[in-house]
Amino acid sequence: MMRTSSPPGKHGGLADRLFDIFNIVFMILLVVVTLYPFINMLAMSFNDANDSIRGGIYLWPRVWTLHNYEYIFNESSIYGATLISILRTVVGTAVSVFCTAMLAYTVSRQEYVLRKFVTMAFVFTMYFSGGLIPGYLLIRELGLINSFWVYIFPGIIGVFNMIVIRSFIEGLPDGILESAKIDGAGDFTTFIRIVLPLTVPALATVSLFVAVAQWNSWFDVFLYNSSNINLSTLQYELMKILQTSNTAANSMTAADQFASGQGGTATVTPTSIRATMTIIASVPIIMVYPFLQKYFVKGMTVGGVKG
């Protein structure tokens, strides 16, 4: 009696299909877990504040309203603060990434005799700092209090970002930089015309990190520019609105108003304000991210090729 053998590749094909199914299910669950908090915040921001106190808001508003957004955007200081936030994000990101890239190119050069010392000096600052009070005294002595540049200069060099860009530059083919020197190009010309165009994926990645940090920053406004409303940022103004709503919620009069909705006037709660603030602060970064996503993939591809 002859034994029938399985077609070649049958078990391999089944294993591949099982892996694909598991991979798809796992990725769907990962997307759901990642997106649910944001979608929940979005639903809370469009739901009536009094109704939200009951709970049970998950993916869809139960009682639609725009009052939460109207409450925030009725603050006249929001618009000027938004402009300052955009300005500090654009200027701060451009200046920081350019200066960090110059430092990264410098310490990536083997001929630079102080490269190890300079690298260790910057890495040291990642683990040790002077503290809040010495930092404030330094900023004051530099004349940066009540100045827009206090948002730019203190964080102009990001050590972690420098290490990322330096590693990317070191992965570039050596022949490209050597040919530029043979053609008579100086270090700055090589950096501007050769290094920067080739490191766009790394620069785009670092730019996103810096931009998010600049956009979300509010504590430096509180420390250095809280007395100057003209230099306030969106995050700081949103923080003040949240503090105001928390104070109102803690008073008995406000609590009664929240519970009864006197006079039919729409109200807000700290929870509804917090959800609305989250959406307002997140949307600009979410809009920028898709334009930088392609550089992440390209950076992985280019960074894996050397020589």
Q: Which residue has the higher pLDDT, 261 or 213?
A: 213
SS3 category, 64: strand
Q: What is the pLDDT of residue 144?
A: 92
pLDDT tens readout for residues 81-105: 999 999 999 999 999 999 999 999 9
Q: Residues 71, 161: contact at Cβ < 8 Å?
A: no
Q: How far apart are the first and last CA of the chain?
A: 60
How many angstroms separate the CA atoms of 76 and 78, rounded? 5
Quick check: 2 pLDDT over 70?
A: no
Quick check: 22 pLDDT over 60?
A: yes
User: pTM (2 decimals)?
Assistant: 0.79
How many angstroms separate the CA atoms of 97 and 200, rounded? 11
pLDDT tens readout for residues 231-262: 999 999 988 888 887 776 666 454 454 444 44
Question: For residue 176, what pLDDT band results from cuts at 50, 70 and 90?
Answer: confident
Q: What is the pLDDT of residue 29?
A: 92
Quick check: 135 pLDDT over 70?
A: yes
Helix axes 77-108 and 159-170, enclosed angle (nearest 10)? 40
Q: What is the pLDDT of residue 241?
A: 85
List the single range of 102-111, 150-159, 195-204, 296-305 with lowest mean pLDDT.
296-305
Nearby residues of 106 by Cβ (< 8 Å), 6 or more positions away: 112, 115, 118
Mean pLDDT throughout 133-144?
92
Question: For residue 304, what pLDDT band results from cuts at 50, 70 and 90?
Answer: very low
Q: Which residue has the higher pLDDT, 263 or 78?
A: 78
Quick check: 301 pLDDT over 80?
A: no
Give the CA dihedral 244, 245, 251, 253, nearest 10 degrees: 120
Quick check: 25 pLDDT over 90?
A: yes
What is the average pLDDT value for the chain, to the nearest integer?
Answer: 83
pLDDT tens readout for residues 64-74: 989 899 888 88
Q: What is the pLDDT of residue 1?
A: 46
Quick check: 219 pLDDT over 70?
A: yes
Q: What is the pLDDT of residue 112?
A: 87
Quick check: 125 pLDDT over 60?
A: yes
How many angstroms separate the CA atoms of 139 and 219, rounded? 14
The residues that bridge with 64 in the sheet, in sequence order, are: 47
Mean pLDDT throughout 128-146?
90
Question: For residue 184, what pLDDT band results from cuts at 50, 70 and 90?
Answer: confident
- Cβ neighbours around 282 below 10 Å, total: 15
Q: What is the pLDDT of residue 294?
A: 73
Residue entry with tokens 């949240």: 242
Q: What is the pLDDT of residue 243?
A: 83
Mean pLDDT throughout 4-10?
52
Question: For residue 223, what pLDDT band results from cuts at 50, 70 and 90?
Answer: very high
- Nearest CA among 95, 74, 45 for reference residue 282: 45
How many angstroms separate the CA atoms of 187 and 195, rounded? 10
Alpha helices per DSSP H over the chain: 10-45, 49-52, 67-73, 77-108, 115-127, 132-141, 159-170, 174-182, 187-190, 196-198, 200-216, 219-224, 234-250, 252-260, 270-303
Quick check: 296 pLDDT over 70?
A: no
